[in-house]
With several copies, the nearest count.
Chain A
């Protein structure tokens, strides 16, 4: 049977209507690239926030007279807290070593005794907590036997806390807008590229083609446009990634990367755009063109 013909029609549709196809592919490329950028930027920002929020450090300085028992009570408390993901004990000697590393001078040579207190560096995962939880924890620790002082960057914490949600919601809004805009644009450009061929549909009908027969090549063409668009979008995104890393590499702690989720996502979306866009458009037009 002539299924081969339908597939060939789909391919040659691309070649025949070069310009409308080109515009459809371009639109898919641009839409997917913009969405990819939104996604990359958004995840990067969320990642940065989470990095800071999950590794939030609180320093618990011990008083000179802290006993083993005090320390075991403190560690017990740290172990039992949901907030705390880990902690390190920094003894007076460790602190002295760090001092030497940082300032290049042995503290024992400067002073007779070591005035640096022992401390705990506590890492807290603040992603699911707000700054009040941290403050509470810090206060509780501060009141414990053997604790001299608790230090943490309260300002940073409050800032993070405040904007983390804003970034998430804002990112979500932008993603929805870009997705919506893409769907509208791609759908309508594919429609326009089919519109340019309504003469073909009319004549096909006159010679006895069923609607299915007419539709299939358009859908195959749409899928091809989607795949090509996705391919170009991946190239574009790769360019953006390389460019951004080059320009912003010195500011950011981690580089942008093209990971598999984004590659898979772009290809899947491209396919969907092409398939759904062409299927919907052709269905719409075919019912408008007279039998």
Chain B
């Protein structure tokens, strides 16, 4: 469902990712691992088309990076859930509205929104923080809001960038279990992480990146 064809993304000053070739199938769970600055986030950004390849093409579902116009991108992003390394929460609205936004942009009905948002917040253990603003939350709580916003729209792919970087092992395991459950319901999951301990006992495919190149898949 996700295809990388000879993809390179160069950032001018040398850094970037080079000549990526791999596929991720429907319902698969893939971990992207590698040291800091290797290019993990860049790969995820290429999938949700925040970055355009400088070479090659990325195909997600039936969205092709080499053909997709700007006004097609929102429709791609509605099918892809994203957990950002830096959370990307709106400071000017509370947790509930931050999560609900993902559904509102799709024009889901109000009642349905309420039910699903509360459900998502509970599943990340933040039901009691619905009325808080992001800056009133701890780092780990903000990260979980980002998780809730990604899963609330029931995407076909879930992209998780370091989703447990700010969480203690207990909560991290809970979040991983949550991703696993979502994966079992048919959603593909692509997780970028450096938390080897967390994934070392999982059977999931690993794509290893070093200095912008796939070294092991």
Contacts and interface: CB of A to CB of B under 8 A. Distances in A.
B84 interface: yes
Most chain A beta-carbon contacts within 10 A, residue among B93, B101, B149? B101
Contacts of B88: 202-203, 206
Chain B interface residue number, banded: 20 to 34
Given A2-B110, A16-B92, A206 B82 contact: yes
Contact of B50 (A2, A5, A16, A291): A291
Contacts of B102: 207-208
B107 interface: yes
A207 B90 CA distance: 11
Interface string A198-214: 01101111111111010
B79 to A, nearest CB: 8
A240 to B, nearest CB: 37
Give the interface centre of A203, A290, A291 by most chain B CB atoms within 10 Å. Answer: A291
A17 B78 contact: no
B73 A291 contact: yes
A1 interface: yes
Contact of A5 (B48, B71, B82, B104): B104
B90 A200 contact: yes
Interface residues of A, number: 22
B71 A211 contact: yes
Contact of B90 (A5, A203, A213, A291): A203
Given A17-B92, A203-B90, A291-B50, A208 B74 contact: yes
B147 to A, nearest CB: 13
Nearest to A3: B107
B108 A2 contact: yes
B101 A290 contact: no
B149 A207 contact: yes
Contacts of A1: 107, 109
A19 to B, nearest CB: 12
B84 A207 contact: no
Nearest to B52: A291
B67 interface: no
Contacts of B48: 206
Interface string A210-249: 1101000000000000000000000000000000000000
Nearest to B105: A209
A208 B105 contact: yes
Given A17-B92, A291-B73, A206 B107 contact: no
A36 B198 CA distance: 68
Interface in B125-161: 149, 153
A143 to B, nearest CB: 81
B180 interface: no
B77 A206 contact: yes
B44 to A, nearest CB: 12
Given A2-B104, A213-B105, A207 B92 contact: no
A206 B48 CA distance: 9
B75 A208 contact: yes
A202 B90 CA distance: 10
B47 interface: no
Nearest to B155: A208
B208 to A, nearest CB: 27
A291 B91 CA distance: 19
Contacts of A207: 77, 82, 101-102, 105, 149
B148 to A, nearest CB: 12
Nearest to A202: B88
B49 interface: yes
- Counting chain A CB atoms within 10 Å of each CB, the highest count among B50, B75, B90, B102 belongs to B90
Given A203-B90, A205-B77, A291-B70, 16 more contacts: A1-B109, A2-B107, A2-B110, A17-B92, A200-B90, A203-B88, A203-B89, A204-B101, A206-B48, A206-B50, A206-B88, A207-B102, A208-B78, A208-B105, A210-B71, A290-B50
Interface of B: 48-50, 70-71, 73-78, 82, 84, 88-93, 101-102, 104-110, 149, 153
10 contacts: A1-B107, A17-B92, A203-B89, A205-B77, A206-B84, A206-B88, A207-B82, A207-B102, A210-B74, A290-B50
